[in-house]
Amino acid sequence: MSTHRACVRGETCQVPTQSTCTDAVMTERISRRGAMTGALAVVLAVAPDVFLLNDGVAAAKPDDQPVSETIRWGLLVDVTKCAEGCSSCVDACREEHGWAGFGRPATDPQWIRKVSLKERGSGHTVSLPVMCQHCEYPPCVDVCPTGASFRRSDGIVLVDRHICIGCRYCMMACPYNARSFVHEALKDQYPHMPRGKGCVESCTLCAHRIDRDQPLACVKRCTDIGHQALVFGDLNDPSSEIAQRLAAYSSVRIRQDLKTNPGIYYQGL
């Protein structure tokens, strides 16, 4: 296994070829609900260097309030409760953010994907979701030449599509194969999640929902169907469910040897 790009067992990593962005213009679908009140949707700054379109849903925080530096958001996956063949978390993410495939598995967007691990000795197989690991020391941020890849002070790793040039250095640097490149011109986009041809994208930990004090789309869907395999919360808060679960039971993180300090934990492996 390469120390530069790591594959989860049972899955083939696709290493993107290097090219330049040919069209970074993003077409954005503006909600018409604002016009009903005589006002167009306005640009809302939800975090430093990130600008989204206000689709009429009130924000939980003032647009000039920075995210907390005392919080570190994280996600715990209980593999014992993650059903093989279930793709509810993937479906919820796709519906929430508007990404879809074009029938090309090697290059289609995969903000979150389900993989299977098989134990060599017993043959026991488990299924688990893999997404951006929201590292404390993200390699994608280190190699980005424009600063488009960045880490919020609350631990969420994002891409600023306004300054992403599509070089894909971050995709090659990511040891989790977690980022995707938009190859197609896009039309039907969501106001809270602008996307564009020639840009890189990945799991955002539903930053737009967190900033409105709403649950992550994948966590909500997994809970609603009764699996409860995903736990989200503040890793720095000892009273949070995720912190208590991590303190009580052993957990692992993917490629801990790389010392990126991921924010995604797995129990039951």
Q: What is the pLDDT of residues 73-126, one digit of tens each?
A: 999 999 999 998 899 999 999 999 988 777 777 778 889 999 999 888 888 899
What are the sequence ranges of the domains in the chain? 70-267
**Would you say the pTM of this structure is higher than 0.85?**
no
b/e burial code for range 181-202 (CB count within 10 A of at least 16 → b): bbeeebeebbbbbbbbbbbbbb
**How far apart are the C-alpha atoms of 268 and 192, rounded to whole Å?**
35
**How far apart are the C-alpha atoms of 59 and 63, rounded to whole Å?**
8
What φ, ψ does residue 73 adopt, rounded to 5°? -70, 145
Classify the phi-psi angles of 134: left when phi > 0, otherwise alpha if psi is within -120 to 50, otherwise beta.
left
Q: What is the pLDDT of residues 124-167, one digit of tens each?
A: 899 999 999 999 999 999 999 999 999 999 999 999 999 999 99
Q: CATH code for 70-267? A: 3.30.70.20
Q: What is the pLDDT of residues 170-180, one digit of tens each?
A: 999 999 999 99
DSSP secondary structure, 28-61, as one string: ----SHHHHTT----EEEEETTEEEE--SPPPSS
* Per-residue DSSP letter, 16: P
**How far apart are the C-alpha atoms of 78 and 73, rounded to whole Å?**
17
